[in-house]
Amino acid sequence: MSFLKKISCLLVIFLVLVNLIGREGIASDGEVTLKEAIDIGMQRAKEWNINATLTKVTSVDETKGGSRGETGKRFIWTMFFNVPGSDDYVIIGISEKKITFFRPGKQSPDPTIPYDEIKLDSPDVLQLAKDKYGLKQGKDWATGYHFTLDSIDGTPILDVVGNDRDNRFARISFNAQNGDVVSAIHKLPYGGGLLSKRNGTDNLTKKGMAIMGVVAKNNNLVVWGDKKPTQFSTTRQPFIEWRHNGGETWTELQANSYVTHAWFDGNDQLYAATEKELWAGITPKSKGTKILSLDHTIEIVDYSINNHIAVLSNGKVYYTTNHGESWSQATVPKPFYAVQISDNGDLIGLTEKRKILQKTTDEWNEITMPKSNDEPWDMKVIKNRLFITTKSGIWTQDLQEGIWRNIKVEEEVVKFIKKGEELFGYTHRGEAIYSINTKDEKKPEKVFDAVDFIVQDVDITGDTLWIATIPNYSWEEMTIPQKR
């Protein structure tokens, strides 16, 4: 063989290897295609019952790395088999080519899928989905590409799940016999935005955004959330914006990370919490001063009327009574669902098992419920007054005098929203919002019917009610994108 021929052969081999590495380098030896997974599961199913027949296959999310479906392969698959003419069935799971789950049982039989009718494999339909619809890997949930096989009206249907070009959840369904597209759908948002109610008039702005929070005070209005949310993420394009003196112009504020809480203190200074930090004195010209930085995620933030602050993170409560100049710590005795701080600096916690605890010196003592068989769903502290909501209604107690009083309600309130001295309550499924008087035991007033909205937050200033909402999502038909 001449030298030039040798060089040519080596070059061809090199190009082939580069191509293979480009396509398979991110894969793993433990990943398999849908049909390869069926082969492994079928062998075990036949050992269980020689008449076992396939009814369903689905890939499973995992954190093993690999290609995450980019090559049409996944590490983990789950298969369902039944025995025709009986109610016997078995679920078989495989991980990295090995049987890791085997559970027989009995149920009404599902339609079977004859194996010889499955002509296309997961890499085949993945390529079709990419070519026709520009399907991309899923993020946040159902990461990468996922695959399911079902029998629908006697036809084996192979689905590919991922994201469309705009990162919205999408599913393309193919006839596994011939590759025809059966359906192509994606989850589109509807609703979402900042709603204001004034004198019976509704106005929706920031349409389509996920408004996660709103705070209003003295003609200042601040909102935060995500400009381009998806069904499984509201942190893709996070923002926090300020509108001053009732104007129409919004100013975007600086933030190192997505904002989870924000409020104004008594001097109209803006505070904000991000994932692991607290900032004070935020203005359109300055991101303010960092007053707390933690190693772990901030789970809950509360502040009192005189701006004592309490933060729950990794089993500890960090609290300050001097606007963040210095901080104290208290270890949480049991996992907390909520934590509050009073104007007197008292710490109150609601445990995940729905016990109310108050910190006194170095101990947490339980506060006795007004009714022994009642269970608090939520709690807030305003000034030095504790509010809890239960199946029997809303109860309030002055933390110093210790006497419970009952507030009658028309509907069960399951969650509170506290904004300064204002208290609001959600009903079941968030269908209505009530304003709760915090100065006496007057009957709460319904201020918003929320049946058509997913409400995240609410505040009031003057005669205007501000309502932060996020989009809902529905399956809609996809069109084949035009080539760009």
Cβ neighbours of residue 420 under 8 Å, at least 6 residues apart?
217, 263, 305
Q: Half-sphere exposure (CA, 13 Å, Cβ side) for 52? A: 24
pTM for the model? 0.78
Per-residue pLDDT tens over the stretch 281-303: 999 889 899 999 999 999 999 99
| Residue 188 one-letter amino acid | L
Per-residue pLDDT tens over the stretch 209-255: 999 999 999 889 999 999 988 888 888 899 999 998 766 789 999 88
CA distance 31 to 5: 37
> Span 78-83, mean pLDDT?
95
> Span 35-54, mean pLDDT?
95
Do 76 and 98 form a contact (C-beta atoms < 8 A)? no
Cβ neighbours of residue 3 under 8 Å, at least 6 residues apart?
none
CA distance 340 to 358: 10
CATH code given to domain 190-474: 2.130.10.10
Per-residue pLDDT tens over the stretch 303-352: 999 999 999 999 999 999 999 999 999 999 999 999 999 999 999 999 99
CB count within 10 Å of CB 376 equals 21
Task: With a cut of 60, say whether residue 2 has pLDDT above it.
Answer: no
Task: With a cut of 80, say whether residue 382 has pLDDT above it.
Answer: yes
CB count within 10 Å of CB 19 equals 10
* Largest separation between any pair of C-alpha atoms in the chain: 101
Task: With a cut of 70, say whether residue 96 has pLDDT above it.
Answer: yes
At residue 1, the pLDDT reads 44
| Burial classification of residue 133, based on how many CB atoms lie within 10 Å of its CB (0-12 exposed, 13-18 middle, 19 or more buried) | buried
> Span 164-170, mean pLDDT?
89
| Burial classification of residue 266, based on how many CB atoms lie within 10 Å of its CB (0-12 exposed, 13-18 middle, 19 or more buried) | exposed
CA distance 354 to 337: 8
Task: With a cut of 70, say whether residue 26 has pLDDT above it.
Answer: no
Per-residue pLDDT tens over the stretch 439-455: 888 899 999 998 889 99
Task: With a cut of 50, say whether residue 57 has pLDDT above it.
Answer: yes
Between 412 and 62, name the one with better pLDDT: 412
* Boundaries of every domain in the chain: 28-187, 190-474
Per-residue pLDDT tens over the stretch 107-160: 888 899 988 889 999 999 999 999 999 999 988 777 899 999 999 999 999 999
Task: With a cut of 50, say whether residue 37 has pLDDT above it.
Answer: yes
User: What is the separation of C-alpha 182 from the centre of its chain, rounded to a whole number of angstroms?
Assistant: 30
Task: With a cut of 80, say whether residue 424 has pLDDT above it.
Answer: yes
Residue 479: both structure tokens together:
């069109």
